[in-house]
A and B are shown apart, each in its own frame.
Chain A
Amino acid sequence: MKLVDHFQYGLNSPICLTWELTYACNLACVHCLSSSGRRDPRELTTDEAKAVIDELQRMQVFYINIGGGEPTVRPDFWELLDYAIAHDVGVKFSTNGVKLDKARAAQLAATDYVDIQISMDGATAEVNDHVRGPGSFDTAITALENLAEAGFQAPKISVVMTRENVGQLDEFKAIADKYGAQLRITRLRPSGRGADVWDELHPTQAQQRQLYDWLVAHGDQVLTGDSFFHLSAYGEALPGLNLCGAGRVVCLIDPVGDVYACPFAIHENFLAGNVRDAGGFKEVWEHSELFTDLRRPQTGGACASCQHYDSCQGGCMAAKFFTGLPLDGPDPECVQGYGEQMLAARDGDTVIPRSDVDHSRSAPRNSRTPKQPTMLSLAPPPRRPDRACDESPLAGFAPASAPAQAAAAPVAGS
């Protein structure tokens, strides 16, 4: 059995676990995959979050991808970061850069086993701020400057590819080179608020081809989170798993502890359980009905007879779901055009599912959750414990000169 076949049947623990620490965010990006904005009063407490980290350590989840919302606006973010690292759970966190001033940059540069992804969705303020909001480009650039000045090695610049920025790929690369950063590009999904802008912002067929050609030429210098595997049907397989990892090697823990099959599938249909349930995350990962089901062999459905099925595997589950397409049919961005045909064939009777989880500041506050003060205030940062790495059995090892997770590793670099 090939390795990738084993992955289809699921692993003992996830390889790529995303943990969104808060729904609170200082920005209101139009394509936010988690419809973030306001903190949810049910979010995990510091102690509950630490208990999850303890469990991830026991399950040997070697690193986690922390996001949000904007994770750094949680007052206990830095405490949880240190706690995870001290418990052999490496951290890569995504941020818009709002809290990365010179002092934090210096602190992070002195911390081992942490990676940072600065989100940037345009290589110019004009393109970026149109999607992410006024001032957000400058915030990201300032954060990159601070990290470079502090000597933080190889942060990532994380870009969601849109119709407006595909033409800027070389400019993004130049920005990354300028700040000693590594470029990471991912796919726009119709998840969260992304559903509202997907029609307008997702790359055209011609741009998909342009993107694929660029990836083939530069794939070894750029991270993709394995998110463009649907483009493999153009011909050459792209580096990575080329497989939907949802519930098999990938999952999401959301701020209230709900466990979803993937970060792009915040919807009750993909909700496997909650870390507060009996048995915790381990029980959900190993025994939830949903994950068990996702690990069964997939048939390919309408795509099974397509000669490209082996390379694209039918594409992204979440992209199909949130555009109202059947899960066993083509991806809406199928490079053979089958997805477009399916999209055009939708009619008034087609149900396009929407997530019932919405923390947008523009949305009415959920009546089920009483008003509570948010944690967004500029509280003093929690006191740092003694340097975690001094107590680590790995202390004394020289940090690698190579950036984390080279593209060569089959699934690293997500």
Chain B
Amino acid sequence: MSTKPVDTTVPGGAAGSFDPAAPYRVSESVSLRPEPFGALVYDFVTRKLSFLKTPELVEVVTGLEHHPDARSAVEAAGVPAAQHEAYLKALAGLLRSGTIVSR
């Protein structure tokens, strides 16, 4: 599996900076489609396709709305501690691309 858990190909809009201690959720304009590698992400507004490259990242992203902050969503998804920072970085990328939003 690639070490990069997410494609951060979409450069930012003005979404503010990511804070691991803040709450997030999946954007309403985004759909996730489960796939063997993780999930396909489609944004119906920007019409961009991207990928969540691990099943764990899919769990983190879909779990965001059930947790008080991003870090606890990562912990709850069973991501090994050594990879927490990588996953938080991935979430920051997803915030920039508009896949996830603050709540």
A residues apposed to B, CB below 8 Å: 1-3, 6, 9, 11-13, 15, 60, 62-63, 88, 90, 113, 115, 393-394, 397-400, 402, 404-406, 408-412
Contact = CB atoms under 8 A, between A and B. Distances in A.
B9 A60 contact: no
Given A90-B47, A393-B28, A1 B34 contact: no
Contact of A399 (B28, B31, B45): B45
Contact of B28 (A394, A405, A406): A394
Given A3-B2, A62-B42, A409-B9, A12 B49 contact: no
A384 B36 CA distance: 39
Contacts of B29: 394, 397
Contacts of B96: none
Given A62-B31, A88-B31, A408-B9, A6 B37 contact: yes
Contact of A13 (B7, B33, B47, B51): B33
B40 interface: yes
A409 B50 contact: yes
Interface string B14-49: 000000000000001101011111001010111111
Contacts of B34: 12
Given A6-B36, A13-B33, A409-B9, A62 B44 contact: yes
A3 B31 contact: no
B48 A6 contact: no
Contacts of A88: 31, 44
Given A11-B40, A394-B45, A402-B46, A408 B33 contact: no
Interface of B: 1-2, 7, 9-11, 28-29, 31, 33-37, 40, 42, 44-51, 53
Closest 4 CB pairs of A and B: A404-B47, A62-B42, A6-B37, A60-B33
B44 A12 contact: no
Nearest to B50: A409
Contacts of A402: 46
Nearest to A393: B28
Contacts of A11: 35-36, 40
A410 B47 contact: no
Of A90, A113, A402, A404, most B-chain CB atoms within 10 Å: A402
B13 to A, nearest CB: 10
B10 to A, nearest CB: 7
A404 B49 CA distance: 10
Contact of B49 (A9, A15, A397): A15
Contacts of A90: 44, 47
A99 B72 CA distance: 54
A152 to B, nearest CB: 15
Nearest to A413: B49
Contacts of A62: 31, 33, 40, 42, 44, 49
A2 B9 CA distance: 16
A405 B47 contact: yes
Given A398-B45, A409-B10, A412-B47, 12 more contacts: A1-B2, A3-B7, A88-B44, A113-B47, A394-B29, A404-B47, A405-B48, A408-B10, A410-B7, A410-B9, A410-B49, A412-B48
A62 B51 CA distance: 14
| Residue from A62, A394, A412 having most chain B Cβ neighbours under 10 A | A62
Nearest to A5: B37
22 contacts: A3-B53, A11-B35, A12-B36, A15-B40, A60-B40, A60-B42, A62-B33, A62-B40, A88-B44, A90-B44, A90-B47, A115-B47, A394-B45, A399-B45, A405-B48, A408-B10, A408-B48, A409-B9, A409-B10, A409-B48, A409-B50, A410-B49
Contacts of A397: 28-29, 44-45
Nearest to A2: B2
Contacts of A400: 45-47
Contacts of A6: 35-37
Residue of A9, A90, A115, A412 with highest tally of chain B CB at under 10 A = A412
Contact of A9 (B9, B36, B48): B36
Given A409-B48, A410-B49, A410-B51, A60 B31 contact: yes
Nearest to A397: B45
Contacts of B48: 405-406, 408-409, 412
Nearest to A412: B49
